[in-house]
Structure formats: structure tokens, C-alpha cells
Structure 1
């Protein structure tokens, strides 16, 4: 891998229009992130020639240059040394960029900023649930038996793993509460407490609605059901916004000496009461309505839904709108116990890796071959940005081939009823999050997602290479 030097960082600065074109800059785990005065003057061809650059793209008001994990921080340090650029955090840059967004983009940004911080917990729980499925799944290794049936001593291990794996989903409102209250400008610790209020064991579990009759509180003639909101997303999201709004208002009017005694207790009491009386019931109804609508649409023709969603998911990633589907998947899992969309997303990521792998064989440039190989491996392990932005979008036909493969794979697994009961890591290990009954169909879908993009990209790429225009 190329090393960061003064020369290649200076080349990046020149390619994006020079220091005068940079309003502010920061970096994340793999990319330099810029707010530029004029993105139209960026010399993308020059960027592609810089040895440490693995891709570049613009999204939601940010111009991003993909450098790679472990290298980007060194590039950023050198960037700061060579310029007088305004250093900001990723959150500050996002806040500044948000001023340029339309209402739909702001909603998508909000969902991304709330759910991405809790994604590690969700993915870890999904992987553990997948391991538990291997232990208790019947017929995986021996017909009619599970590993626990064959080796009873594994029962306690499976039970513990199941308990640990289910914790993040059981207390999802607490995770969302922490992240959402923090996003909306309140005390994130109180966001956790707010989320825990909504799943307090004293309340009847949301999973028992329709099975048991809840108890009721009587507030001066107003009957309020004692129902929890386990696994729900929308109720705590709205409650977090209300909490942060009340907290900020109280902090402006309550004297500093009394804030500890007044702000948190009053805000928590008022928001919790509003959540149990109005916010929870209304948003639960809305959530169920949205869920029923999505399920009904997907049931009209699962295969068509799978093809369209699989083919278009990569386009959603480019626009950033794919973040909204994290909330959709979590809501579907909470309400129905399953989702058909996450398995399709995972195969779309695999397809991106396969197209990038094909480009490693197509290109005759050693640097590009190295980028394509490492990007393909990264995508197969669940991180697709280098493959998508660093390889496939540069060779546009590779991106189209990946969409075709993802669409075919998505249609196949949707037609065969493949579902997931959790969200795990995408790529080759995504099968762990698929229910045991769908493993066979999902494995075939994965072969489609691997084979079709690779073959199509390779054939088209070799034909273009003969013409001297491989596009990468």
C-alpha cells in the first residue's frame, strides 16, 4: 500500500481546487471529508492518479476522498500541516452541510446520525444470534437434529448466547434514546433512561399485545394502558425529540444553581408521561401502519420486489438514503419478527465486491489491480465503500453489472422466501443472520451475486480493454 507523503497530499489539495476552495475538512475511518466552495472545479482525473487515493465522490454536501483505514489519519495530519484549513469534527461538518439539504435529505441524515452510532451493537447481536442459530438449528449437520440435541452440554452455552444476542433488540429503545437525544441536543444519558422507561418490566411487553389484557392507569378519568414499546423505533425517536426540546427550553430559563434539581426530573417526568399517554400509542399505530404497508407491497410480488430493491440498493447507497432502511429493517423485525430486505442488501454488497474483483483481472495497471483486489476483499467482509466508489463507479459498466447481479440474486431469494430475524454483517458471512430454512436458497443467491457481476464485468471489461478503454 502506498505511503502518505507531502507530495501526494499536496496533489490531493491541488486536485480539489487548492486550499482556497476548502471551507472546512475532517476525516472518518477511511475518508477525507471536505466542504468545498465549488465542487465543479475538482479535477477528478488528477485525483485518480494519486497513489494513496482509492476513490472519490460527493454526498449530502460533502466531497469525500477515500484513502483507507489506518492511512487516512496520516493524510489528514499532513493536510492540516500544509494548509490553514479549518479543522472540524465529522459531526460539525455534517451540521454545517445540513443547512444545504432539502427536507427529505434532512430526514435521511437524521436517521443516519441516530442509527449509525448504535449499529455496532446491532451487528454484534445479529452475529451472536447467527451463532446461536447454528447451535440450535435442526438439520444443519445431521438430519432431524441440532448440535444441542447431539451434544446436550451445549444447551447452556446456546442459552447464554441467545440471551446476550437478544439484549440489544430487547432494549433497543434505550440505544435509540441515547443516540437520538444526543443528536437532538439533549443529555444522552437521560436518553438511555427515557428508552428504559418505555421497556420497563412493570409495563406489559409490546410482544404480548393482543395476547394479554393490559392493566390501566386512571388519570382523572383518562384510561392509559400500561404497555411497553420493546423493539420499537418510532415511539422513542419522537419521544427523544420531545425530551431534548423540553430540556433545552428549561435550561434557558432555570437558574444554574437549580438545574440539577429541576431540568432532568421535570423533563423526564413530562416526556415519559406524554410518551405513555400519547406519543407511544400514536406512533405505535403509525409504525404498524407503515409495516403493514411495506409487507403488503412486498407480498404482491416478492420476486419483483426483490429484483427492484436488489438492483436499486446501490443507488440508494450513493444518495445516502440506504440509512433509512436500517430503521425499516429494525421496525420490521420488531413488529413481524423478520425482514426480507436485509438479506437482499447483504447480497447487493457482495455483488459490488464481485464486480471489483473482476476489475482486478481486467485492468493492466498494477496500482488499480491492487486497489480492486483489496476493495473486493473489503466488500466480501462487509465494507463496500472502497469497491463501490473506488472501483465500480469509476468503471461505470462494473457498477451496472453489480446492480444486475444484485437484482437477480435479490429476486431469487425473495421468491424463495428468504428472511432474516436480525441484522448482522453483510458480505460472505451474512448467511449467519439468515433463518435456517432459507440457507439453501440464500447460498444460491450468494452464488448469483458473486458469479453474475464477475462474469459480466469480466466479459465487458476484456472487450473494452481490447479497444484500449477498460475504464479503470
Structure 2
């Protein structure tokens, strides 16, 4: 295909260069922030060579090209539009794409995107720890080595480290997102997990010491493995640091700002925000656990059926924070298996579309996008196929609800977050063979239920389109 021609046509159909504020791309999609979101001609863009679907989400107009091709199109698109050299006022300064996208979002979507930006970079550490816990559990359960073996000692250290220093990891990532010094964020996380404080991660039954400070009784309790306290603390830290930089002369900035920021925020953290954050976090965990235990399969039906709709809004990015809190407080994540059912169901609905459609371009998209959903990546099948006809999206919701009800009924759990579909088997394995089997059965129910529901509902194609 002629990527230069596609980029030129895409620019025209988006409303011209003047309507384009900024653009970037991910593994499969071109993401564009526009002045006027009503100008793009979506139908004609979908007909461009190589385009597998278009949609608007997270303050961006997104065009799906697929892995590899999107890089080539973006290079031509950047050259065509002169990206990064103009702002909304027509000036010549660099445009921050992330900030431009955030300005186009509603407040709820901004919060979701912020939480996503904080927790997504931490996913590799959480997944690694989850898999290490699984290996440790198998070595212990099957008695591969003696209980006092150095293997057990070392794997216990390796698997728990990420959760013990979780506030440090979140502190660094959150400070970057809030526009503060990330190393100061890490320092605050270190203060909240200092060895002087009782570590609740390993000493759950111990009673912390208390000290009297400024007339207040302060418990020397650490925040290892917690989520909400460090988020609140770093947010306040960012406000203090930014405020100080406005009034402190540059000549003494390096000496004064870090010192005052750390000492003020640390006292606020230990005396007020830390205990408040713990109370909020425990309340959230208790509420979710209560709903999960009380509503049972009905919770699975509702969450599994609605999750893909939530994905469209972009709010699902905030769920990583909730899942991290569940793992920190309960040691398990019972939400991710439900989300996984919704994702797999989208793939099942996409396969049904492949057999139902007469459009060769849709067939070309449906198969790879469906298998992508089985691997946990659903945007191509949702926006490129199922939402296009709507009925398959409804069919996927039915399949997701059925699968979600089953995994809740059988208590499928995992010990990390960030993986769904087939890869999630790795973080379900630590809880035994029955957990894996029930997860696989849930996947089959979700995919088959979505396929059958979509087949019954059918699709309504526009026969006038090429």
C-alpha cells in the first residue's frame, strides 16, 4: 500500500492540518487529538487502505492500522502534518500529546487516565511477583524441596519484595504523573515503609508501638503493600513542591524546595493522610469483598456483562488501582477473572462476525482481532468489528456475563493484574489445578456464549458500502 497517500487522505478526512493538534501511536493505533471532533468523516476513513476501524476515546480520535503498519503510516502522517511544531493557537512550540488529550476528556475520564498512567508502568513488577509466588507455592505444595531449603527462603524474598516496596514504586510513578520530582515521591514511599515502622505485610498479628507527638497518639505502623495512602501523600507533595518553586528563588531552589517538601509532606503523611488513606483503602476492599461474597454469580453477571461497555469510556484504566489494593489487602484478585471473561467474549463474538459477514475487509479484520482478544487485547475487535454492527457487541456482553457468573461461582482468583485471556493462566496457576480448569471452562463459556448469541442476533450490513 502507498502509506504516503493514505496519510495524505487521512489528513484531509480529519479536517485538514489546522484541525490536528497532536498525534502519537501505540502498537496498533494512530491516536490523534483534534480541534473539532465533529469534522472527521469516519465512514470514508474506514474505507482507506489498511484501516481496520476508527473510534473516539480518551480525548483522542483513534485509527486502527495494526502492528507494524501503524509505524509506517505515522511517519508519513507526521511529515504530512508537521506534528509537534504547532499548538492550538498556531504557535511554534512543542505540543504535549498526553496533556492535549487530557484537556479533551471529562473529569471522570481524566481521573481514570491518571490512575492508568500511574499503575500501568508497575505491571511488570506485579506480574513477576505473582509468578514467583506461584513457583514458591508449587515448590511448597508438591514438596519439591525441604521446607527449610534456601530455595524457599530466596523465592519468598523475591516474590514479596515488590509488594513490600509498593509505596516506593507508586510514589515514583505517581510523582511523575503529577508533575513532581519522582525521586522525592520515592523518598516519601521509603519513609512510609521505613524499617522503624511495623511491617504489616509480614507481621499481621503484631501490635505497633505508639508515640506521643504534639499531643497526638501516633502508631508506628508501616504502609508496606498499601496503595491509597501513598497516592494521597504524593498528590499533596506535588502541590507543595509546585507551590514552593513559584516563590523560592532559583539560586536556593535545590537546597530549600526538596528539604521543605519532604519534611512537610512526611509529617502530614504520618500524622493525617496515612491513617486516612488506610481507612479509605480498607473500606474499599471490604465493600468489594462484601459485594463479591454476597451477590455471588449476580456480581459476575453484571460485571462481566458491563465491562466492555466500561472499556469504551476509558474508565477501566482506573481498575488497576483497585486490583492492586485487593492484592495488597487480601492477597488475591477476584476481579481480573471477570474482566478476562468479557475480553474473551469479544473474541467469540468477533469469530461469529467472520462467518456472518459478506464484507471481505471485515473478514480480514475479524480473525486476527478475535485472537488478539483471546490474548487480552480487545480494542481492535471492539472498535474495528463488534461496535461497527452493535449486535455482536451485545452478543459479547451476554457471553461475558455468562463467563463472569461462572468464574465467580467457582471462585477463580489470581495473584496479580495486567494479564487477561490465555496469558492469565500463568497468574491463575498458583492457586491450583482446579483454579486453572475453572478459568478455562469460564473462557469456553464466555467465547461460546458470545458466538451463539451473536449468531442468533445476526448482523445488519450496509450493502451499499464497498
Asked whether the two chains share a fold, i.e. TM above 0.5, the reply is yes
Partner of 1:447: 444
Over 3 Å counting, the alpha-carbon distance change for 1:59 and 1:137 in structure 2 is: farther
Q: Are the equivalent residues in 1 in contact too, given 2:338–2:404 (CA < 8 A)? A: yes
Match of 2:25 among 7, 24, 27: 27
Partner of 1:143: none
Partner of 2:90: none
Q: Secondary structure at the match of 2:48?
A: coil
Q: Distance in 2 between matches of 1:174 and 1:4?
A: 48
Q: Distance in 2 between matches of 1:130 and 1:366?
A: 44
Gapped runs of 5+ residues in structure 1? 139-145
Partner of 2:127: 123
Q: Shift of the alpha carbon at 1:409?
A: 0.5
Q: Secondary structure at the match of 1:383?
A: coil
1:335-385 Cα distance to aligned partner (Å, 9 max, x none)? 122232111111211112222233333334444323222212222222221
Partner of 1:177: 171
Q: Structure 1 residues 102-111 or 226-235, which shifts more?
A: 102-111
TM-score of the pair, normalised by structure 2: 0.89
Q: Distance in 2 between matches of 1:215 and 1:233?
A: 22
TM-score of the pair, normalised by structure 1: 0.88
Partner of 1:239: 233
Q: Secondary structure at the match of 1:217?
A: strand
Partner of 1:74: 72
Q: Shift of the alpha carbon at 1:307?
A: 0.4
Partner of 1:371: 365
Q: How do 1:449-464 residues align onto structure 2 when only pairs under 5 Å count?
A: 449-461=446-458
Q: Shift of the alpha carbon at 1:241?
A: 0.9
Q: Shift of the alpha carbon at 1:80?
A: 1.9
Match of 2:81 among 71, 83, 91: 83
Partner of 1:409: 403
Q: Distance in 1 between matches of 2:136 and 2:412?
A: 18
Match of 1:59 among 51, 57, 60: 57
Q: Distance in 2 between matches of 1:101 and 1:391?
A: 24
Q: Shift of the alpha carbon at 1:265?
A: 2.4
Partner of 1:110: 114
Q: Are the equivalent residues in 2 in contact too, given 1:26–1:87 (CA < 8 A)? A: no
Q: Are the equivalent residues in 2 in contact too, given 1:178–1:188 (CA < 8 A)? A: yes
Partner of 1:92: 96
Q: Secondary structure at the match of 1:394?
A: helix
Over 3 Å counting, the alpha-carbon distance change for 1:99 and 1:365 in structure 2 is: closer
1:288-315 Cα distance to aligned partner (Å, 9 max, x none)? 1222222222322111111000000001
Matching of residue 38 in structure 1 with residue 46 in structure 2:
no
- State the number of aligned residues: 457
Over 3 Å counting, the alpha-carbon distance change for 1:18 and 1:315 in structure 2 is: same
Q: Shift of the alpha carbon at 1:178?
A: 0.9
* RMSD (CA atoms): 2.9
Partner of 2:12: 14
Q: Shift of the alpha carbon at 1:157?
A: 5.4
Q: How do 1:204-223 residues align onto structure 2 when only pairs under 5 Å count?
A: 204-207=198-201, 211-223=205-217
Q: Structure 1 residues 244-253 or 326-335, which shifts more?
A: 244-253
Q: Shift of the alpha carbon at 1:57?
A: 1.0
Q: Shift of the alpha carbon at 1:29?
A: 3.1
Match of 1:293 among 287, 292, 307: 287
Q: Structure 1 residues 360-369 or 13-22, which shifts more?
A: 360-369
1:124-164 Cα distance to aligned partner (Å, 9 max, x none)? 4334444545x3475xxxxxxx2xx2566997656645543
Over 3 Å counting, the alpha-carbon distance change for 1:160 and 1:425 in structure 2 is: farther
Q: Secondary structure at the match of 2:417?
A: coil
Q: Structure 1 residues 79-88 or 382-391, which shifts more?
A: 79-88
Q: Structure 1 residues 366-375 or 158-167, which shifts more?
A: 158-167
Q: Are the equivalent residues in 2 in contact too, given 1:357–1:373 (CA < 8 A)? A: yes
Over 3 Å counting, the alpha-carbon distance change for 1:151 and 1:207 in structure 2 is: closer
Q: Are the equivalent residues in 2 in contact too, given 1:464–1:470 (CA < 8 A)? A: no
Q: Are the equivalent residues in 1 in contact too, given 2:59–2:103 (CA < 8 A)? A: no
Q: Are the equivalent residues in 2 in contact too, given 1:33–1:64 (CA < 8 A)? A: yes
Q: Shift of the alpha carbon at 1:269?
A: 2.0
Matching of residue 387 in structure 1 with residue 381 in structure 2:
yes
Q: Are the equivalent residues in 2 in contact too, given 1:352–1:399 (CA < 8 A)? A: yes
Q: Are the equivalent residues in 1 in contact too, given 2:167–2:192 (CA < 8 A)? A: yes
Q: How do 1:189-338 residues align onto structure 2 when only pairs under 5 Å count?
A: 189-207=183-201, 211-338=205-332
Gapped runs of 5+ residues in structure 2? 88-93
Q: Distance in 2 between matches of 1:47 and 1:160?
A: 55
